[in-house]
Amino acid sequence: MAQIYTIKCPKCGRTFEVTKGPLVSEMDKPLPEERREDTPAVCPVCKLAIDLQDPANEKYIVSVLMVD
């Protein structure tokens, strides 16, 4: 099940979304590197990498939406 994270970048303040995990419709395909849970989210403006697995970064996650 995929998750859509809405993140507010701590460096530039830009709010952006990233998708992590596989969609059901993509289960038979390899998961792209940027969609793996253990890869950081990268701000599209300032290119800051944010580790979503680090509890210290939870404050930058605005919302998480589970999608199937």
For residue range 8-64, list pLDDT tens digits in order.
999 999 999 999 999 888 889 999 999 999 999 999 999 999 999 999 999 999 999
Give the three-state DSSP class for 20.
strand
CA pair distance 26, 40, nearest whole angstrom? 21
- Strands across the sheet with 61-67, in order? 15-20, 2-8, 61-67
- The pTM score is 0.89
pLDDT digits (tens, 9 = 90+) for 13-28: 999 999 999 988 888 9
> CA triplet 56, 14, 37: central angle to 5 degrees?
45
Going from N- to C-terminal start, the domains of the chain cover 2-67
